[in-house]
Amino acid sequence: MDAATSPAWRDHAVCEGLDDLFFDDACTDAAKRVCAACPVRNACLDHALRRPERHGVWGGATVEERQQILRRRHH
């Protein structure tokens, strides 16, 4: 994501520069631990739910967990 399209919250994301951790299924638990300490976790999750992001851990949630959240919102 380039600076022109990057949401402002990303400037405060703890995960900045750790992309490999968030897009490797073997690292899901570690990625979630990083998210748990992140001050912009909710904004990140909201971003992933609105896009929707189809890969990786965003806002502490996997693709499957985000799909569950969206299904609950629509029912």
Per-domain boundaries in the chain:
10-73
pLDDT at 7: 78
Residue 27, annotated as binding a ligand: no
pLDDT at 6: 64
- Cα–Cα distance for residue pair 13/11, rounded to 1 Å: 6
pLDDT, block means (10 residues), the chain with 75 residues: 64 90 93 96 94 91 96 84
What pTM, to 2 d.p., does this model score?
0.84
Euclidean distance between CA atoms 50 and 25, whole angstroms: 22
Q: Which pLDDT does position 55 carry in this prediction? A: 92
Buried residues in 56-73 as b, exposed as e (16+ CB within 10 A):
bbbbbbbbebbeebeeee
Q: 7: part of which helix (H) or strand (E)? A: none
Rounded CA separation 38/59 (Å): 9
